[in-house]
């Protein structure tokens, strides 16, 4: 494609003070995000999910190839199929595949093979990564930095959902091949993440775990 540049639209003209306030307030809001495993069946309008997916797809991507596809499911039959298939994989995981060390690391989260949230939450968003693209002539187009690009988009999706007032759960049954079959995705895509979202069930509880302090996660050379 030809190189063509335009002036940067929407240049921000925030004062130093406004920037400090926005950074601080955003952090306060995002710190309230918790992974939730108990969802209510209260419906969530499709328009909210559409806007969150649009926000996610504004993520930067390798060579701007936008190597993602989002499948949003509120259909009860499909959610039930996904639950059954995911629970089958999880039984394998918890009974056979997971090492003792892995099971020990999961202990504080209280997870197990039962995944009722896959049927109870109003929306499941399956995110697929396109290992390669297909051009208009049907030829393969190489994609660059696909996992990084899709990972960033997922982070933005979760942020958008949280900002819209919804709770999420990032679910990664492994392997996730069943998602590709149930959701009829093409050969060039592989399932990357299943984001469960909706409102928390009344009285939902979360593990009592803490986030690392800034000193433990960042260093500065100034």
User: Which residues of the chain form contacts with ligand IYR (CB under 6 A)?
Assistant: 90, 93, 106, 109, 111, 171-173
DSSP H or E stretch at residue 24:
helix 16-30
CB of 34 to ligand IYR, least distance (A): 13
Backbone angles phi, psi at 112, to 5 degrees: -155, -165
What is the per-residue burial (b if ≥16 Cβ within 10 Å, else e) of 53-79?
A: bebbeebebbeebbbbbbbbbeeeeeb
Which residue number, 79 or 171, has a Cβ lying nearer to ligand IYR?
A: 171
Query: Which residue's Cβ lies closest to ligand IYR?
Result: 111
Which residue number, 130 or 179, has a Cβ lying nearer to ligand IYR?
A: 179
- Token pair in block for residue 203: 């009285």
Query: Residue 3: helix, strand or coil by DSSP?
Result: coil
Which residue number, 87 or 148, has a Cβ lying nearer to ligand IYR?
A: 87
CB of 171 to ligand IYR, least distance (A): 6
CB of 109 to ligand IYR, least distance (A): 6
- Asked if 195 contacts 127 with a C-beta cutoff of 8 angstroms, the reply is yes
Which residue number, 4 or 101, has a Cβ lying nearer to ligand IYR?
A: 101
- Asked if 143 contacts 62 with a C-beta cutoff of 8 angstroms, the reply is yes
């Amino acid at each position: 494609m030809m190189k063509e540049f335009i002036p940067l639209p929407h240049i921000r003209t925030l004062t130093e003070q406004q920037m400090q306030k926005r950074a601080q307030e955003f952090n306060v809001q995002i710190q309230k995000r918790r992974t939730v495993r108990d969802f209510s069946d209260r419906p969530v309008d499709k328009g909210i999910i559409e806007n969150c997916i649009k926000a996610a797809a504004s993520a930067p991507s390798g060579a701007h190839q936008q190597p993602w596809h989002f499948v949003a499911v509120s259909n009860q039959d499909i959610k039930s199929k996904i639950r059954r298939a995911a629970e089958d994989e999880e039984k394998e995981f918890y009974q056979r595949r997971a090492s003792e060390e892995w099971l020990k690391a999961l202990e504080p989260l209280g997870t197990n093979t039962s995944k009722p949230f896959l049927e109870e939450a109003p929306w499941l968003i399956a995110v697929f990564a396109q290992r390669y693209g297909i051009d208009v002539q049907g030829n393969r187009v190489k994609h660059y930095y696909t996992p990084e690009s899709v990972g960033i988009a997922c982070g933005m999706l979760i942020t958008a959902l949280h900002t819209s007032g919804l709770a999420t759960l990032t679910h990664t049954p492994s392997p996730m091949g069943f998602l590709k079959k149930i959701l009829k995705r093409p050969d060039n895509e592989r399932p990357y993440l299943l984001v469960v979202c909706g409102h928390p069930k009344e009285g939902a509880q979360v593990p009592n775990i803490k986030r690392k302090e800034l000193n433990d996660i960042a260093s500065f050379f100034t």
